[in-house]
Amino acid sequence: MLRRLGAVLLVALVVGAVPGPTRADTWPLESRNEGAPATISLSQSGRSAGGPLAGRVVVIDPGHQLGNHRFPARINRQVPAGGFTKPCNTTGTSTNGGYPEATFAWQVSRLVARRLRDLGATVRLTRHSNRQDRWGPCVDERGRAGNAIGADLKLSVHADGTYAAGARGFHVIAPPDRAPWTHDIFQPSRRLAAAVKGGLLSQRFGVATYIAGGDGLDVRSDLGTLNLSDVPTVMVELGNMRGSDARVMTSAPGRARYARGLVAGVRGFLG
């Protein structure tokens, strides 16, 4: 459904970008900040054109950005979020030892992207780096990521930071049936949420102990990242960084397990 108009320029994914001017790290805004980006065809993003996910387009949204805390005026400005406004972004949480959510989400997302590309999928990330001199992108840009390129799904990767006693485990958030914003995607988004839950369970992760319902699934109408999407989308909170989950999140083998679970969920949804 064409609710929101706007052209999105595709840019080549750059890992470990050369430092440039302080800016929002967001692929739709590259043309306004650093000149017109080089464009690529969708097929160039997949490493295995004949793999089981050939022809599929997946958007991965690593939550936050490491430098958000350095740009309070920019991340606190109000942006559209689906019938209301919200701050552009937040700093995210961290473990008690100082390991940031932004870094965790970035590291897991890169593992997921690499595996999906190996399977033949075209993968777009909503940010290109994890740096102290970058901020954003805003939630409205994250929300629209994937719309113009007709992505098969969008997966937003996050972690929680509650101090509730014994809080641990993951939960997957889907949008509600909320016309005109998510009426067209809420059903496939629920299926995506169930598939992602199944993928994480297959890697022996437990569902959140601190979310109402206790089944690892949640529905929220207040998230611009979900509300502005025209493609099936979910946000996953992979665990509680302030609790016992931190031991897994701060280890490379633990992050690899999270990535395997997310890839299994994507594959389960795409069939």
Domain map of the chain by residue range? 23-270
The whole-number average pLDDT for the span 33-49 is 36
Q: Is the pLDDT of residue 39 over 60?
A: no
Q: pLDDT at position 74, please?
A: 98
Residues 234 and 155 sit within 8 Å (Cβ to Cβ): yes
Question: Which CATH code, of 3.30.1180.20, 2.40.50.140, 3.40.630.40, 3.30.565.10, is assigned to 23-270?
Answer: 3.40.630.40
| Among 13-22, 88-97, 121-130, 237-246, the least confident range | 13-22
Q: pLDDT at position 216, please?
A: 98
Q: Is the pLDDT of residue 48 over 90?
A: no
Q: Is the pLDDT of residue 229 over 80?
A: yes
Distance of CA 238 to the CA centre of its chain: 11
Q: Is the pLDDT of residue 188 over 60?
A: yes
Q: What confidence tens digit (pLDDT) does each residue in 235-249 have?
A: 999 999 999 999 999
Residues 155 and 266 sit within 8 Å (Cβ to Cβ): yes
Residues 131 and 67 sit within 8 Å (Cβ to Cβ): yes
Residues 225 and 61 sit within 8 Å (Cβ to Cβ): yes
> pTM here?
0.86
Q: Which two structure tokens, joined as six digits, stand for 230?
A: 């025209």
Cis peptide before 188 (omega within 30 of 0): no
Q: pLDDT at position 50, please?
A: 83
Residues 234 and 223 sit within 8 Å (Cβ to Cβ): no
| Among 34-43, 98-107, 146-155, the least confident range | 34-43
Q: What confidence tens digit (pLDDT) does each residue in 194-206 have?
A: 999 999 999 999 9
- Within 124-251, residue ranges assigned H as helices are 139-144, 186-202, 224-227, 246-249
The single residue of 30, 101, 141, 237 carrying the catalytic annotation is 237
The whole-number average pLDDT for the span 104-133 is 98
The whole-number average pLDDT for the span 166-191 is 98
- Position 72 confidence tier, pLDDT thresholds 50, 70, 90: very high
Catalytic site includes residue 237 = yes
Q: Is the pLDDT of residue 16 over 60?
A: no
